[in-house]
Amino acid sequence: MADKGGTDKVKGKAKEALGKATGDKRTTAEGKMDQAMGKAKEAVADVKDSLRGRGDER
């Protein structure tokens, strides 16, 4: 998992914007779900990093 959720967040933002622009509630919801998945992946990656002792590098 090289991007740690960033791709999902960007894809989600694009889908949400497209859904809002076209009035498509399903696409908007999918975009929000993709963003949530990206945030969850980032949280998991942060926990893994901190467990490995790399959490203080920021």
The per-residue pLDDT for range 1-58, each reduced to its tens digit, is 467 889 999 999 999 999 999 999 999 999 999 999 999 999 999 898 888 886 455 5
Token match 């740690």: residue?
4
Q: Residue 2: what are its φ and ψ, rounded to 5°?
A: -75, -35
Task: Provide the whole-model pTM.
Answer: 0.79
- CB of 57 closer than 8 Å to CB of 13: no
